[in-house]
Amino acid sequence: MKISVDHPRCEGHGLCADQAPDIFSLDDDAELTYRFEGTDVPDEHQPAARAAVNACPVAALRVLS
């Protein structure tokens, strides 16, 4: 599974990082960092990744496959 991150849409709420801290984090400027950018999310992280996508209040995250 891959996740698309719409960085301009992200408002830095951090709910994705709360749901999946091994996948998402916010830097000092509240900019989203996505650990698996351009690659598949490993199987063991997929439940947390889906929870993070569902938690985003501005729909900046999307599951691609």
State pLDDT tens for residues 7-65.
Answer: 999 999 999 999 999 999 999 998 999 999 999 999 999 999 999 999 999 999 999 97
Determine the pLDDT at residue 17: 97
Helices in the chain by DSSP H: which ranges? Answer: 15-19, 46-55
For residue 30, what pLDDT is reported?
87
Which CATH fold would you assign to the domain 3-63? Alpha-Beta Plaits (3.30.70)
* H/E run at residue 46: helix 46-55
Selection from 58, 7, 19, 64 nearest residue 41 by Cα: 64
What are the sequence ranges of the domains in the chain? 3-63
Residue 44: predicted pLDDT: 98
